[in-house]
Amino acid sequence: MADNFKETAKEEVANVKRIAQQGLSSGTFFYPVRGIFYLLSHKELRRPLLRRIVPTMSLGVGITTFMFVFTYLPQLAVLVFTSGPIAALTTILLVLSESSTLTMVLSKALLIEDSLVDTFDATLVAKGQTSLVEKDRQVKASGFGDAVSRLGKMASKPFAKFTPQAIVRYFMYLPLNFIPVVGTVMFILLQGRRYGPHAHDRYFKLKGMNKSQQEKWVDERKGAYTGFGVTAVLLETVPIAGIFAAYTNACAAALWAADIESKNGTSGDLQAQADAAKKGE
């Protein structure tokens, strides 16, 4: 039993190391940073954010207040044993991180879903990928204003309806934070590994990919998506700024998608897979 445990642990460490190396070599971890600068330099792309900022901030204040009132002391009691004299500070940071994450999950599901899609699509239009966006929504000609103004009605809902799975999964991983340093790193990696592929949900929709094609595509680029996801998660867990990061990450995911489309062969192979799947249906 002990030998099997050690062997499994070694395999898992090797797997994490391999994914980390792939993520670093792909450079996708820098896309969320690019997204910040791109959104800041394109005023029109900030309009979806500004339209939702007040209700999202109100939700964030309510969640943060609730979390400090009901969860600060119980978590402090645990962290006293693992963090010692700095337990008060680490508990504050943990509660802020939890509050920010819950705010993001709920606001994306209930308040800002459509505006994030607008940000993603408008970024693709601004990068010259109008034909891709037109597969799922109307896009006006270039003479009808900026990238956001040109977006028309969507043909279908881009994302699945809200389910509590994201919150449940978050709290399943949460105890890792009670393990100093290593636990926090594992927590961020697990969150990032899940976040990365979801950042391209809209892209997969526009490409007409089914579930199995998405899984194959992501599995072949697991390191790249994890690298993107880790940086994106770190940005979104920053209190208050996390709301802004949700939009910059949507912009970043679109920039990555636009770069994929611009590379000869890559987008063609992906489209060929999707077209073949449709013919087989």
User: How far is 281 from 219, CA to CA, in rounded Å?
Assistant: 23
Q: Phi and psi of 137, rounded to 5°?
A: -160, 160
**CA 182 to chain CA mean position, Å:** 22
User: How far is 57 from 92, CA to CA, in rounded Å?
Assistant: 19
- Give the CB-side neighbour count of residue 115, counting CA atoms within 13 A: 23
Q: What is the DSSP letter of 177?
A: G
Q: Could you report the per-residue pLDDT of 174-197, keeping only the tens digit for each?
A: 777 667 667 777 878 888 888 999
265, 267, 271, 273: CA torsion to nearest 10: 60
Among 224, 217, 195, 225, residue whose Cα is nearest residue 277? 217
Q: What is the DSSP letter of 200?
A: T
Indicate whether 252 pLDDT > 80. yes
The C-alpha angle 124, 126, 132, rounded to 5 degrees, equals: 35
Instruction: Dig out the tokens for 34 from the structure.
Output: 């690019």
pLDDT score of 110:
85
Q: Phi and psi of 209, rounded to 5°?
A: -85, 140
Question: Residue 267: pLDDT band by 50, 70, 90 thresholds?
Answer: very low
User: How far is 139 from 152, CA to CA, in rounded Å?
Assistant: 5
Q: Under DSSP, is residue 157 helix (H, G, I), strand (E, B) or coil? A: coil
Q: Taking all residues of the chain, what is their mean pLDDT, rounded to a whole number?
A: 84
Question: Residue 147: pLDDT band by 50, 70, 90 thresholds?
Answer: very high
Among 178, 245, 237, residue whose Cα is nearest residue 34? 245
pLDDT score of 249:
97
Q: Could you report the per-residue pLDDT of 84-125, keeping only the tens digit for each?
A: 888 888 888 888 888 888 888 888 888 898 999 999 999 999
Q: Under DSSP, is residue 137 helix (H, G, I), strand (E, B) or coil? A: strand
User: How far is 90 from 82, CA to CA, in rounded Å?
Assistant: 10
User: How far is 116 from 245, CA to CA, in rounded Å?
Assistant: 11
Average pLDDT over residues 127-149: 91
Q: Phi and psi of 213, rounded to 5°?
A: -65, -40
